[in-house]
Amino acid sequence: MSVNSSRWPKQLPALTEEQRRIRDDFQRHWLEVLPRRFGLVERFNHRYPLRTFSPQVKRTLEAGAGRGAHLKFENLVQQEYVALELQPELA
């Protein structure tokens, strides 16, 4: 099946059962194993935006929110916060 690159939104070909299994295993590893193994990096990634946050910012868009791990670090009273995740398996 060829994918027409001029169409929007882009239609991806269906995954085989093996490809779905590999994708699911990768996502599990990425979202569960790596944060525990690289906790220092993970904490920096969540806290750095807060240190540079400007009170003038009223809206935030988080693209690729995954399972929403970053939400607990944000002050949702001070801003309009939209978490965007395109993969239904994660949203």
- pLDDT at res. 3: 56
Q: Which residues of 37-63 are buried (b: 16+ CB within 10 A; e: fewer)?
A: eeeeeeeeebeeeeeeeeeeeeebebe
Q: What is the pLDDT of residue 58?
A: 82
Q: Would you mind telling me the total number of residues written for the chain in this entry?
A: 91
pLDDT for 38 equals 86
Residue 77's pLDDT is what? 87
Determine contact, residues 80/60, Cβ cutoff 8 Å. yes
pLDDT at residue number 48: 84
Domain ranges of the chain: 17-84
Successive 10-residue mean pLDDT values, the chain, 91 residues: 68 92 89 84 83 79 88 86 86 77
